[in-house]
Amino acid sequence: MTDRAQRRTTFDAAADLYQRARPEYPEALYDTLFRATGLRAGDRVLEVGCATGKATMPLARRGVRVTCVELGAALAAGARRNLAGFPQVAVLEGAFEDVRPSADEPFDLVFAATAWHWLDPAVRFQRAWELLRSGGHLAFWSAAHVFPDGGDPFFAELQEVYEEIGEGLREGEGRPRPGELPDDRQEIEDSGLFDEVLVRHFDWDVIYDAQAYLDLLDTFSGHIAMQPWQRDRLHAEIRRRLGLRPDGRVRRGWGAVLHVARRRDAPAAS
């Protein structure tokens, strides 16, 4: 089993934290998604890796019919509870790579929020293409840490603790500013299965107290995989440092890169 395959299964351990700890995505992102795809109430959507339904609910509120595929049993159960008020939403437990297309009911949109990069690169574009109707769309985005000029110095200061516990920045990892996150336009185009690629950046920030920030960290695969002594040391230092601040809070910058692409009727010649 690859490292990607192993780590994508870790999130189920954080199912109880996921819904309250993970950030909401900007409403402007959904507005752009609907404009770019022409999505309307009643259209059929497949969501890849819905977790507890964080990104599902905004689409369900707009009236689309959503089929969610979630690998983790606990996350899928949480999604069913959170989305119980939307009868047009169904949550299936399983892997996206195992979903089989139906000629009778193709999807208008296949999308993934903070899940696309966990899928097998060898099959993800092909499977999405197979599941979509002619002229349907693929969309995906992730939420990542960004560091605005003049932002909170807490994160730079905390790096010494990450270094101490053996979890410092890896080679090539940086501190991207808002609007500087990398995009996957080239990979989409290279697949030969999609065109009319749109890429848009969205940036926002969230203020956390110590417990809320620790809850957030405990939903990340790298933190879930930490040894108990590493987690204890990191958590204690975060509590101590934020406890020295008058308001006890930290401001974290978030960025998301929305990708939207239209399904080609036939794969492009290689």
Structural domain that includes position 99:
3-147+172-206+253-263
Asked if residue 157 is part of any domain, the answer here is no
Other CB atoms within a 10 A radius of the CB of residue 133 amount to 15
Across the strands, what pairs with 138?
110, 261
Looking at the structure of the chain, the number of domains it has is 1
> Is 232 within the bounds of a domain?
no
- Per the model's pLDDT, the better-predicted residue between 4 and 161 turns out to be 161
Q: Would you say residue 167 lies in a domain?
A: no
Q: Is residue 258 part of a domain?
A: yes
Question: CA angle, 264 as apex, 260 and 265 as ends, to 5°?
Answer: 145
Q: Which residues are CB-neighbours of 66 under 8 A, at least 6 positions away?
A: 45, 46, 47, 56, 59, 60, 86, 88, 89, 90
Mean pLDDT on 217-241:
94
For the CA atoms of 209, 215, 220, 223, the dihedral, rounded to the nearest 10 degrees, stands at 100
4 pLDDT more than 80: no
Q: Which of 91, 99, 104, 136 is nearest to 120 (CA)?
A: 99
Percent of the chain predicted with pLDDT > 90: 81
Q: Are 110 and 98 in contact (CB under 8 A)?
A: no
Rounded CA gap, 126 and 137, in Å?
13
Burial class of residue 247 (count of CB atoms within 10 Å of its CB; 0-12, 13-18, 19+): exposed
Residue 84 falls inside a structural domain: yes
pLDDT in tens, 138-182: 999 999 999 999 999 999 999 999 999 999 888 777 899 999 999
- pLDDT single digits (tens) 68-106: 999 999 999 999 999 999 999 999 999 999 998 876 689
Q: Which residue has 């204890």 as its token pair? A: 232
Q: Is the pLDDT of residue 2 over 90?
A: no
- Please state, in angstroms and rounded to a whole number, the distance separating the CA atoms of residues 233 and 155: 16
Residue 13, domain member (yes or no): yes
90 located within any domain = yes
Alpha-carbon gap, residue 136 to 239, rounded angstroms: 47
Split at pLDDT 50, 70, 90, the class of 266 is confident
Q: Spell out the SS3 assignment of 156-171.
A: HHHHHHHHHCCCCCCC
Res 102: pLDDT: 75
Confidence of residue 3 (pLDDT cuts 50, 70, 90): low
- Per-residue pLDDT of 181-198, as tens digits, reads 999 999 999 999 999 999
Give the position of tokens 């995989």: 225
Q: How far is CA 192 from CA 126, 130, 196, 265, in A?
A: 10, 13, 12, 11
Query: What pTM value is reported for the model?
Result: 0.92
CATH code of 86's domain: 3.40.50.150
Q: Tell whether 78 is covered by a domain.
A: yes
